Structure 1
């Protein structure tokens, strides 16, 4: 299924998840662990302890769907201590699926406005 990127919210679960969980287990984590409604149409991403597997749960108006990805090498996350449950955009999820972990957000351009105006003589 394709999503309009600006309208999709992705909720990342900030703790390791047992990848044997399926629809009901992931639904419960989204409902009680993230305090979100899984029927909202948003995406819910779950990662295992080794950070080599990810499952994404979403509701598509007819039922639940799960995407699963298992990496042959590498990890989705570099350190679990820096991960917290959070909301991210669809682009961030796509980057994470490709192996790019966004560390922090930086603005590309810095405003060069003066901090104070010189006084007139």
Structure 2
């Protein structure tokens, strides 16, 4: 996730707000099955239809995590086209979330942001992350 900085040196700070903002009224669906993260627009939209039973052009966000939980991709349909956003961890793993119907689970905004930032809301602790040394 990118961060804005006042100095313009390109280095993010932990206190800066995330650049990824969640539009009001959007649902966030997490695919509970591990996903081949090499998939992109067409492959992920096919998974949304077949595995999640949702319409990929609905405007909702669809989140996919690989088997090792070190990479995450988000598929969204915005203003006439698909968007894919991805994050790969240099250290640590994304939290394992369960529940839902076995294929998908709705995430609230807090759960989604916690997942990206390494906060495990089940055990209420921050997961290990790579830290840039100045």
Displacement of 1:88: 1.1
Structure with greater contact order relative to length (CA < 8 Å, sep ≥ 6): 1
Q: Where does structure 1 lack aligned partners over 5 or more consecutive residues?
A: 105-121
Task: Figure out how many residues of one structure are paired with residues of the other and give that number.
Answer: 101
* C-alpha contact (below 8 Å) 1:8/1:90 kept by paired residues: no
Q: Residue 57 of structure 1 aligns to a residue in which SS?
A: strand
Match of 1:32 in 2: 50
In structure 2, which of residues 84, 106, 110 is the aligned counterpart of residue 91 of structure 1? 110
Displacement of 1:2: 3.4
In structure 2, which of residues 39, 43, 48 is the aligned counterpart of residue 21 of structure 1? 39
Q: Deviations over 1:58-115 (max 9, x none)?
A: 000220000100001111124x7x46421112221111000112228xxxxxxxxxxx
Q: TM-score, normalised by structure 1?
A: 0.75
After superposition, the CA RMSD in angstroms is 1.9
Match of 1:119 in 2: none
**Structure with greater helix share of residues:** 1
Counterpart check, 1:8 vs 2:18: no
Match of 1:102 in 2: 121
Displacement of 1:32: 1.0
Q: Where does structure 2 lack aligned partners over 5 or more consecutive residues?
A: 1-19, 124-134
Counterpart check, 1:58 vs 2:76: yes
Q: Residue 54 of structure 1 aligns to a residue in which SS?
A: strand
Match of 2:63 in 1: 45
